[in-house]
Amino acid sequence: MEQVLTLVCKLNPTPSQSEKLEVVLHAFAAACNYTNEVIKPQITSKTTIQNVVYEDLRSKFGLAANLAVRACARVGANRLVAKRAGKPVKAFKPTSADYDARIFAFREKDWTISLTTLEGREHIKIDAGNYQRGKLKGRKPTSAQLCKHRDGKYYIHIQLKDEIPDPQPIKKVIGVDFGRRDIALTSNGDSWSGKQLTETRDRYSTARASLQKKASTRTRSSRRRCRQVLARLSGRERRFQSWVNHNISKTIIQQAKSEKALVAIEDLTGIRERTNQKPRNKTERRRSNSWAFYQLRMFLEYKGLKDGVEVVAVPPAYTSQTCHQCLHIGLRSDKKFKCGNCGLSCDADWNGAKMIAALGTSVNSPRGSNGLYCNLSTDSSGLLKAHTVFGTPNQCG
Ligand SMILES: [Zn+2]
């Protein structure tokens, strides 16, 4: 299997190089718009598109051979995406152009990239920090995207393709419960308290509310200052959250790797419904309707893939109410879980994590001994998803 990492580096073009980049971006967008106009709307195949307009793109827009090929591919790809979303293809803007191995290269000895423009090849210095240097060292990337960001500067998005290790043989399953009280709790018993995070977020939220009020009522200059502070706050809050999520996911994946475990998480497409089951106040709703859980899932998947740890999403429907020992529906109060069938009484979130692990185990052995069946599919992001049908212990003994 392969994993692609996109590395963004700022370019340091000379003024004359900037002009050439600008020309490329405009020609590329114009070529895409032209292609989109002349090719019948239902056609998405890059080869078919190329057969019709390739010569035109070369002569009308002055594109180098492989830039013309990339423009055809871009139109085909955008049409596919638009078709899936049931929307028309958006007009192409002069903000990005695609490059492949024939027209793009990275040179480590002087930290430059070379790009084919409409007037030949240009070597452009890149701003590479330690992170970028570490990732690019010894690499020969073969595809990239030239981009102009909203700051008006030019960037190169370099695709680094890595062979990823085959998933390791699985000896156990670690279930991870994303909760309200704890950000995450594993069936191993590790938990990350949401307390500090919640406090930080609440503090930012209060500050935000007051600033937003000021931003709409005060004088013009103070309104502007309020908006600036707001933008800064949102960045800081986001970075803090990301840092927390990075640490949680890193710890879980490392643990799974050393224990040869599969990581089972809840299918988060349902988390809003679940944590919002009971009517809640505004504060609680804001806490649960966040991108934070989504980001944590993405981090887990990404790091899992890199380290050969399998991550699987299980349906959350019953995890909070089902007893992990006997699979009967029990009683859940806010913190406690009680099972009327087998008498289990424990922390509700921990039972949830154990239940997720049990579901994960049934993924690992579809006719597993724990009486759970699973059908598997892969979602759009490539995450393995389990659709569980509760079996009875009698049926599958
Ligand atoms: Zn029970």
CA distances, 92 to each of 34, 228, 388 (Å): 10, 31, 43
For 81, the enclosing helix (H) or strand (E) is: helix 65-85
Higher pLDDT, residue 196 or 36: 36
Predicted local confidence at residue 392, as pLDDT:
40
pLDDT at position 6 over 70: yes
Report DSSP letters for 280-296, one per residue: --HHHHHHHSSSHHHHH
Q: Is residue 154 in a domain? A: yes
Statement to judge: residues 148 and 228 lie in one domain:
no
- Ligand 1 centre from 235 Cα, in Å? 45
- In tens, the pLDDT along 321-344 reads 889 888 888 888 878 899 988 999
What band does 117 get if pLDDT is binned at 50, 70 and 90?
very high
pLDDT attached to residue 244: 87
Domain boundary among 145, 163, 181: 163
Higher-pLDDT residue of 130 and 200 is 130
Regarding whether 363 and 266 lie in a shared domain, the answer is yes
Shared-domain flag, residues 13 and 88: yes
Q: With respect to residue 247, please indicate whether it lies within any of the assigned structural domains.
A: no
Are 181 and 198 part of one and the same domain?
no
Of 384 and 353, the structure prediction assigns the larger pLDDT to: 353
Does residue 358 fall inside a structural domain? yes
What's the CA-to-centroid distance between 324 and ligand 1, angstroms?
A: 7
Read off the pTM.
0.61
Ligand 1 centroid, distance to 329 Cα (angstroms): 8
Instruction: Give buried/exposed letters for 128-151 (b at 16+ CB in 10 A, else e).
Output: beeebeebbeeeebbbbbbbbeee
In a domain, 213, yes or no: yes
The mean pLDDT of 223-233, rounded to a whole number, is 78
Please tell me whether residues 80 and 208 are part of one structural domain. no
- Span from the CA of 284 to the centroid of ligand 1 (angstroms): 30
According to DSSP, the residues that pair with 347 across neighbouring strands are 336
358 CA distance to ligand 1 middle (Å): 13
Q: pLDDT band at residue 378, thresholds of 50, 70 and 90?
A: low
Span from the CA of 343 to the centroid of ligand 1 (angstroms): 6
Q: What is the reported pLDDT for 386?
A: 63
Question: How far apart, in Å, do the first and last CA atoms of the chain sit?
Answer: 36
pLDDT value at position 278? 52
Using DSSP's 3-state secondary structure scheme, residue 368 falls into: coil
Q: Give the structural domain span for 179.
A: 166-190+252-397
Q: What is the pLDDT of residues 181-192, one digit of tens each?
A: 677 889 888 888
pLDDT digit string (tens) for 140-167? Answer: 999 999 999 989 999 999 999 887 777 7
Kindly provide the residue ranges of all beta strands, DSSP E only, lying in the chain, ordered along the sequence. Answer: 2-12, 96-99, 104-107, 112-117, 120-127, 143-148, 154-163, 172-178, 182-186, 191-193, 261-266, 311-314, 331-332, 336-338, 345-347, 372-378, 384-390
Q: How far apart are the C-alpha atoms of 238 and 153, rounded to whole Å?
A: 24
Q: How far is the CA of 340 from the centre of ligand 1 (A)?
A: 7
Q: Ligand 1 center to residue 332 CA distance, Å? A: 12
Residues 121 and 41 in one domain: yes
Residue at which a domain ends, from 163, 179, 207: 163
pLDDT at 73: 96
Q: How many domains does the chain have?
A: 3
pLDDT at residue number 35: 97
Do 123 and 172 reside in the same domain of the chain? no
Residues 159 and 170 grouped into a single domain: no
Instruction: Give the residue, 311 or 194, on which the prediction is more confident.
Output: 311
246 part of a folded domain: no
Q: Are residues 220 and 366 in the same domain?
A: no
258 and 378 share one domain: yes
| Gap from CA of 86 to ligand 1 centroid (Å) | 46
What distance in angstroms lies between residue 376's CA and the mean position of ligand 1's atoms? 26
| 66 or 213, higher pLDDT | 66
Structure tokens at 131: 């992170």
Question: Which is more confident, 276 or 392?
Answer: 276
Task: Mention every residue, 6+ apart, whose C-beta is less than 8 A from residue 182.
Answer: 191, 192, 193, 194, 349
Q: Do 278 and 365 reside in the same domain of the chain?
A: yes
- Give me the pLDDT at residue 290, please: 60
Give the number of C-alpha atoms closer than 13 A to the C-alpha of residue 214, restricted to the C-beta side.
16
Report how far ligand 1's centroid is from the alpha carbon of 339 (Å): 5
Residue 396 has pLDDT above 50, yes or no: no
Ligand 1 centroid vs 347 CA: distance in angstroms? Answer: 13
Cα of 268 from ligand 1 centre, angstroms: 25
Ligand 1 center to 187 CA (angstroms): 16
Q: Are 264 and 385 contacting, i.e. CB atoms less than 8 angstroms apart? A: no
User: What spacing in Å lies between the alpha carbon of 338 and ligand 1's midpoint?
Assistant: 8
- Does 7 share its domain with 150? yes
pLDDT band at 316 (very low <50, low <70, confident <90, very high): low
Residue 112 has pLDDT above 60, yes or no: yes
